[in-house]
């Protein structure tokens, strides 16, 4: 897990306009917001938003997007609100975090009453800013990398299927071949765990 200084140093290698105070503040804010939460593997929840920010920094994205990566689950999974995020980090970041939250809420509905192509279109339509999709893809990539820790097999299969049908094609549409390939490989390992050798 990257600490604050490592993340800031990494972003500084490609973004000389970075405001390190904002990134540091977002890191601390996320740490505090998620302090009592755990991941399925028993690790502190904060490892997830930090991993998402790390993936986004690998893509050399702007600091608002990296900040969103750190904060992307705060509105959905903690007591923090859109207003708090806006007050602390500005409207741009609050809107991005809110956009990621809305996509997560769409996922739940998709399982019940929406076909895949409709959901893909809906996700594209609700994402006024491409950076929302980039954060969501980084979020899904880290969740797929740690999917083995989810105890419920049906949930693992549902996430893998959703990733194969929705997120890998979205990554493809955005020209993100490396992320698409990894999402497909990870999904396939759950959907077809014992492939027959030809």
**Catalytic positions, written as ranges:** 76-77
**22-to-70, 75, 113, 117, 142 alpha-carbon distances in Å:** 11, 18, 40, 37, 23
Q: Is 190 exposed, middle or buried (0-12, 13-18, 19+ CB in 10 A)?
A: buried
Q: Taking Cα atoms as reference points, which of 45, 72, 63, 40 lies closest to residue 140? A: 72
Which conformational region is residue 73 in: left (phi greater than 0), alpha (psi within -120 to 50 degrees), or beta?
Answer: alpha
Q: How far apart are the first and last CA of the chain?
A: 40
Distances (CA, A) of 189 to 55, 158, 171: 21, 13, 18
Sign of CA dihedral 168, 173, 179, 184: positive
Q: Could you tell me the maximum CA-CA distance found in the chain, to the nearest angstrom?
A: 58
What is the distance, to the nearest Å, from the Cα of residue 153 to the centroid of all Cα atoms in its chain?
21
Rounded Cα distance, 15 and 61, in Å: 9
């Amino acid at each position: 897990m990257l600490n604050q200084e490592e993340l800031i140093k990494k972003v500084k290698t490609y973004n000389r306009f970075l405001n390190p105070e904002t990134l540091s503040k977002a890191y601390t804010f996320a740490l505090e917001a998620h302090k009592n939460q755990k991941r399925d593997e028993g690790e502190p929840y904060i490892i997830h938003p930090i991993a998402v920010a790390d993936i986004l920094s690998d893509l050399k994205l702007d600091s608002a997007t990296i900040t969103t990566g750190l904060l992307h689950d705060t509105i959905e999974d903690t007591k923090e609100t859109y207003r708090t995020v806006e007050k602390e980090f500005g409207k741009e970041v609050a809107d991005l975090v809110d956009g990621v939250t809305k996509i997560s809420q769409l996922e739940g509905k998709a399982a019940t009453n929406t076909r895949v192509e409709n959901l893909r279109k809906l996700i594209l339509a609700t994402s006024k800013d491409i950076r929302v999709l980039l954060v969501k893809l980084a979020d899904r990539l880290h969740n797929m990398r740690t999917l083995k820790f989810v105890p419920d097999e049906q949930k693992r299969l549902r996430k893998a299927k959703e990733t194969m049908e929705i997120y890998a094609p979205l990554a493809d549409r955005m020209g993100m071949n490396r992320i698409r390939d990894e999402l497909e490989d990870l999904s396939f390992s759950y959907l077809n765990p014992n492939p027959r050798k030809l």
